[in-house]
Structure 1
Amino acid sequence: MTFRALAPGQRSRILLGGPSDAEPEVLFETDELLIEAPNWSLDGSTLVLNGNGRLWSLSVEDPGAGLTRIEFAGLPELNNDHVLDPDGEHILLSAMDGHIYRGALSGGSVTKLTADDGRWHFLHGVSPDGERIAYVELEGFEHPGRLAVAPAVEGGGPVTVLDTGDGHLDGPEWSPDGRWLVCNTEHFGIEPGHAQLARIPDGGGTLEHLVASDTVDWFPHLSPDARLAAYIAFPAGTIGHPADLDVEVRLVSTDDWATPLRRYPVFGGQGTINVNSWAPDSTRFAFVAYPIAP
């Protein structure tokens, strides 16, 4: 695996949207670095993103100051699966060696949280108490992803794989109350690769279909107050979650997933909204577009 780079004439554009925003606000853009997957810090001051295999921070109040690299010791190059620790001071990170790490938002040393079990581990969720991680477990890229839950401890702990039926499973993260894991899955798909949004009780149980659509829907992210959700809709027939497509970031009420409150068409896909990017006050969320100049 290698990190992505901008194409000639392409830019990374960080956008903010929410229920009060008919059009998204451009917070920051650059033609120097392909940046992905914003997390919004728990104090509301900062976005944390990856780019060139490293982690970066961006001030929400002063985005003109630009990106600041967060320096870690002994951390392999990163992909775009990173999630804030509920303590607000640490972050959990998926690296391109297939393992999940934990480090301070200020940088420094890291702790590996997954075992050397010959599998790939792609982080997407941390339990509200910070004691467990939810990730996509792959035996190989020719196999569908499975929903795995494990203790967030050094070297890994006992792994529980939840039964989510047939097809690839991705993007699992906990609801704010810890009762559910929301995700996207091919289990309800009408065609190969037709991902749909779903949830499953924490600890396992019946997989519930959240919204039936003709689009290929990925990465549902609940707001901290659990009243809203954002996700990305790919065109029908899309396989996986590729980059550089005309996609739509959708905002919905969790009382009515089928009726978008806002639709934000962007050129993007991979990297746009892979991880939860809600502001702590639940009023806005961040996402990334990758426009190419004509």
Structure 2
Amino acid sequence: MFALVEIFDLDSGQAQVVLDTDWHVEAPNWTRDGAALIVNAKGRLYRLPLDAPGLIPIETGFDQLNNDHGISPDGLTLAISDKTETGKSCIYTVQGGVPTRVTDKVPSWWHGWSPDGQRHTYTCVRNGDFGIATCALDGSDERLLITSAHHYDGPDYSPDGEWIWFNSDRGGDMALWRMRSDGSDVQQMTHGDSVDWFPHPSPDGQNVLYLAYPPGTEGHPFGRDVELRLMPAAGGPPQTLTHLFGGQGTLNVPCWAPDSRRFAYVRYHQTT
């Protein structure tokens, strides 16, 4: 087997294997009713019911999806990123298997819904530079909140909608940052020597989960010894929850259970 989809329980400090598969599965979301996960594999999305684990295809209209996807706060709409029509990653929403294009400009990689369900936040490249933007549900009113010659990735809203967390190397090494949802008050939130990616605030607003690579790692590669860490949303020292073989695909998108006590991720088998 190649990939393990696991659920980590904060109260017990233990992980449960949900699925052991020879597919390259990535980036689990948790459905709003808490009954299933949504994962990416082979360019498509799959529903993974927790009461009867198995990969059930979700029709999206495309088969070149990357692992940037997520579920709207009301649980009725999927946001996806696909390059079939545009050649570069473009954001779409899907209801009833029918995709509707959102972003006019590409590349755009989806990462988060605003808590009120009215805006998307995403990583983009505009005028040759990486940045983080938001837009209305139909793609109008794009607001480029932060951009420069540095790398920006992984934006995710805090549950009160006040902050957008992200990772960037704007301060030197890749670290976690946050800014107000209008792009103001930019703050660096991690300061260690690890290479930190993909911050995900918990639904109750108390914690932020993220992926930590060893010092000196370039980008967010697959197939590395990494850690999943938890830090207070207000800032402070993180704790390491688990060590695993993973990286790209482990924790790219919002992955918390609605109860804020569990989260889903992917661990990979190391082959020689």
Q: Which range is displaced more, 159-168 or 210-219?
A: 159-168
1:23 aligned to 2:48? Answer: no
8 Å contact kept, 2:129–2:147? no
1:274 aligned to 2:259? Answer: no
Match of 1:108 in 2: 97
1:186 aligned to 2:169? Answer: yes
CA–CA distance in structure 2, aligned partners of residues 271 and 172 of structure 1: 16
Match of 1:46 in 2: 36
**Kindly, what percent of the aligned residue pairs are identical?**
38
3-state SS of paired residue (1:79): coil
CA-CA distance at 1:278 after TM superposition: 0.3
3-state SS of paired residue (2:69): strand
The alignment covers a number of residue pairs equal to 268
Q: 1:82 to 1:26 in 2, by over 3 A?
A: same
CA-CA distance at 1:51 after TM superposition: 0.4
Superposed structure 1 runs of 4+ greater than 6 Å apart: none
Over the aligned positions, Cα root-mean-square deviation in angstroms equals: 1.7
> Given the alignment, which residue of 186, 211, 216 partners 1:207?
186
Q: TM-score, normalised by structure 2?
A: 0.93
1:149 aligned to 2:134? Answer: yes
- Superposed counterparts of 1:148-187, under 5 Å: 148-153=133-138, 156-163=139-146, 167-187=150-170
CA–CA distance in structure 2, aligned partners of residues 139 and 203 of structure 1: 18
CA–CA distance in structure 1, aligned partners of residues 170 and 230 of structure 2: 23
8 Å contact kept, 1:196–1:211? yes
Q: TM-score, normalised by structure 1?
A: 0.86
1:244 aligned to 2:235? Answer: no
8 Å contact kept, 2:130–2:148? no
Q: 1:161 to 1:16 in 2, by over 3 A?
A: same
CA–CA distance in structure 1, aligned partners of residues 28 and 209 of structure 2: 13
CA–CA distance in structure 2, aligned partners of residues 165 and 258 of structure 1: 28
Q: 1:251 to 1:91 in 2, by over 3 A?
A: same
1:78 aligned to 2:61? Answer: no
* Residue type at the aligned position of 1:125: G
8 Å contact kept, 2:176–2:189? yes
CA–CA distance in structure 2, aligned partners of residues 245 and 293 of structure 1: 12
1:90 aligned to 2:80? Answer: no
Higher-strand-fraction structure: 2
8 Å contact kept, 1:227–1:253? yes
* Residue type at the aligned position of 1:67: L
